[in-house]
């Protein structure tokens, strides 16, 4: 393996999720504008943007969409962040795009709801949820990437970028953010966040809590293989730092067992739960959503199906009778979301389209498949889908990039959710499926060991493995029954999963509160 490849792998976790920014954006190590005058820290942050963009546009695009609208600012004195000795300050660290890290945003909101002052640290990019931006107890601290000229050799650029990231995290965690009593860090990525989080927690006499979503070494193994020395080194590093945590959360019961058996780490299972925004969307809101997305050009690939010159009747909804109802010829709507990474093979969906199209066409059923999100593999999917489009009679496939609110509304307007997530470890779960259940959708999901904790085959979804099974499962769920599959019961009418707040209050808060009390008692003894 070349030196270039070795450095690339070593830098991968630290830089992979860094969004591309203009050179001007690197002028300061903080996207949240911070200026220090004597003893007062003035944090200036936007309070009213055109729209939030959890799945949709990034922060720059959102600001542009606001048409230069004035942004309200919140100016906070440093003393307000630490009101007294009893104030609970928490740092939530996600070495990724904050706006595309819903679970860590939910953590921040829950902590703030319990009276904590939260410093949310991560990369800029997609606009965080409105609740995050407007919450007076939450402050965003951005890690900015180092932009270097391409003429500098790759190996040197990679070393400089990782070094700059290490320095930024060190300064942020120890000098810029308020002194913390608890540091909650997401894993993966593990490098270098776990090491610096452990160091910062030790220096500040704070508790370190790791939230295991998956494992960094298993993601690296997808690229290099299980036996590669870098993968083994990553595993040892991740295991060692995992054992140094004061507490840990994980996303499945299987992950809890694996951590205990293999790493001797005791973790509390905290299953993902849908936020309140994920629910069935009323018809009038569906009509507004589809009309607006159509006007914005999001449905260009559906033009040949859209009713011509009739503003009252759309492809999905109809108001010609005076009340909103489903359009007479409404196609079934399938929604999937992805970051377009190698652990989700959307080529399998394209491979399944010919058989699915033939099955639906024979039954005179039409369907639209919309895939939301952005990432490096998106353009290849779009190019191949465009080549296949002329041969499809009963199917249309399109990609979208939506705001968080629009994504939630679209899920609540659909008939079926689709997940192609394949866990690198086999013991995590896709949060998108949780959101789909919150919106009342049954789900077709690709199988892996931990999935039955969430998807019950034949009840709230169908589990597939092969391409043929995918085509048959989609057709079955869309109303073309297969004798080989059980009848699918929609989740819309069953008791919903407990919401995030209820679940977090029952499981996470007692664990974290115990750490606060432990640190408080230690401080009194000192």
Residue 276 within any structural domain of the chain: no
Distance CA 456, CA 441 (A): 13
Q: Which of 237, 269, 301 is the last residue of a domain?
A: 269
pLDDT tens, residue by residue, 294-304 = 989 999 999 88
Beta strands per DSSP E along 251-410: 268-269, 317-318, 325-326, 332-337, 367-372, 395-400
Task: Say whether both 341 and 220 belong to one domain.
Answer: no
Nearest-10 crossing angle of helices 229-243, 216-224: 180
pLDDT at 491: 56
Residue 305 within any structural domain of the chain: yes
Residue 304 within any structural domain of the chain: yes
Residue 29 within any structural domain of the chain: no
Reduce the DSSP state of residue 234 to 3 states and report it: helix
What Å distances lie between residue 127 and 56, 117, 201, 402, 412, CA to CA? Answer: 8, 20, 28, 11, 21
Place of tokens 């659909």: 414
Task: Say whether both 263 and 309 belong to one domain.
Answer: no
Percent of the chain with pLDDT over 70: 81
Tokens of 419: 């997940």
pLDDT tens, residue by residue, 440-488 = 999 999 999 999 989 989 888 999 999 999 999 999 999 898 877 887 7
pLDDT at 26: 31
Q: How many domains does the chain have?
A: 2
pLDDT tens, residue by residue, 268-318 = 999 998 888 899 999 999 999 999 999 899 999 998 898 876 567 889 998
Residue 48 within any structural domain of the chain: no
Task: Say whether both 451 and 399 belong to one domain.
Answer: yes
What Å distances lie between residue 225 and 1, 4, 156, 386, CA to CA? Answer: 13, 18, 25, 33
Assess contact for 396 and 334: CB atoms under 8 A. no
Task: Say whether both 199 and 321 belong to one domain.
Answer: no
CA angle 455, 186, 447 (to 5 degrees): 20
* HSE-CB for 101 with a 13 A CA cutoff: 27
Mean pLDDT of all residues in 373-399 = 93
Residue 305's domain spans which residues?
283-497
Task: Say whether both 333 and 378 belong to one domain.
Answer: yes
Residue 427 within any structural domain of the chain: yes
Tokens of 403: 């705001």
Task: Say whether both 348 and 452 belong to one domain.
Answer: yes
Residue 440 within any structural domain of the chain: yes
Task: Say whether both 199 and 303 belong to one domain.
Answer: no
For the entire predicted model, the pTM comes to 0.76
Whether pLDDT at 20 is above 80 = no
Task: Say whether both 202 and 290 belong to one domain.
Answer: no
* HSE-CB for 436 with a 13 A CA cutoff: 25
CATH number of the domain bearing residue 263: 3.40.50.2000
Task: Say whether both 294 and 181 belong to one domain.
Answer: no
pLDDT tens, residue by residue, 346-376 = 999 999 999 999 999 999 999 999 999 888 8
Task: Say whether both 436 and 301 belong to one domain.
Answer: yes
Task: Say whether both 254 and 306 belong to one domain.
Answer: no
Residue 8 within any structural domain of the chain: no
- Listed in sequence order, the residues at least 6 apart from 61 whose beta carbon sits closer than 8 Å to its beta carbon are 53
pLDDT at 98: 93
């Amino acid at each position: 393996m070349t030196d270039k490849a070795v450095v690339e792998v070593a830098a991968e976790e630290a830089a992979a999720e860094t969004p591309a920014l203009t050179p001007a954006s690197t002028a300061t190590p903080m996207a949240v504008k911070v200026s220090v005058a004597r003893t007062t820290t003035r944090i200036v942050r936007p309070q009213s943007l055109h729209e939030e963009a959890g799945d949709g546009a990034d922060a720059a695009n959102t600001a542009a969409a606001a048409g230069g609208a004035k942004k309200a600012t919140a100016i906070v004195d440093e003393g307000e962040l630490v009101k007294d000795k009893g104030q609970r300050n928490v740092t939530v660290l996600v070495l990724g795009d904050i706006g595309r890290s819903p679970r860590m945003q939910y953590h921040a909101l829950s902590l703030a709801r319990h009276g904590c002052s939260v410093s949310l640290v991560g990369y800029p990019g997609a606009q965080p949820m409105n609740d995050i931006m407007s919450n007076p107890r939450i402050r965003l601290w951005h890690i900015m990437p180092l932009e270097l000229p391409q003429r500098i050799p790759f190996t040197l650029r990679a070393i400089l970028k990782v070094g700059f990231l290490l320095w930024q995290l060190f300064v942020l965690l120890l000098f810029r953010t308020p002194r913390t009593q608890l540091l909650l860090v997401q894993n993966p990525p593990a490098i270098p966040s776990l090491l610096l989080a452990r160091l910062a927690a030790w220096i500040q006499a704070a508790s370190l809590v790791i939230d295991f979503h998956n494992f960094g070494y298993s993601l690296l193994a997808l690229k290099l293989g299980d036996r590669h020395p870098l993968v083994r080194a990553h595993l040892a590093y991740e295991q060692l730092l995992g054992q140094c945590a004061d507490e840990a959360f994980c996303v499945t019961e299987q992950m809890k067992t694996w951590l205990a058996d293999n790493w001797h780490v005791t973790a509390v299972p905290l299953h993902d739960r849908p936020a309140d925004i994920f629910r069935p969307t009323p018809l009038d809101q569906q009509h507004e959503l589809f009309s607006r997305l159509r006007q914005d050009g999001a449905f260009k690939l559906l033009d040949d199906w859209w009713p011509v010159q009739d503003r009252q009747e759309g492809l999905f909804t109809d108001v010609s009778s005076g009340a909103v109802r489903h359009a007479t010829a409404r196609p079934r709507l399938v929604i999937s979301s992805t970051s377009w990474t190698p652990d989700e093979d959307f080529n399998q969906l394209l491979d399944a389209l010919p058989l699915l199209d033939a099955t639906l066409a024979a039954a005179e059923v039409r369907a639209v498949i919309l895939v939301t999100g952005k990432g490096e593999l998106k353009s290849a999917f779009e190019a191949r889908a465009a080549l296949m489009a002329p041969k499809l009679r009963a199917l249309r496939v399109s990609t979208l990039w939506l705001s968080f609110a629009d994504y939630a509304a679209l899920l609540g307007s659909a008939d079926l959710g689709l997940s192609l997530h394949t866990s690198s470890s086999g013991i995590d779960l896709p949060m998108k499926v949780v959101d789909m259940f919150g919106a009342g959708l049954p789900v077709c999901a690709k199988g892996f060991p931990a999935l039955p904790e969430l998807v019950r085959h034949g009840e709230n979804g169908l589990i597939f493995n092969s391409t043929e099974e995918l085509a048959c499962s989609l057709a079955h769920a869309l109303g073309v029954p297969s004798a080989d599959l059980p009848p699918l019961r929609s989740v819309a009418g069953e008791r919903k999963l407990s919401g995030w707040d209820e679940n977090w209050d029952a499981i996470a808060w007692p664990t974290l509160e115990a750490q606060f009390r432990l640190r408080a008692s230690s401080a009194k003894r000192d």
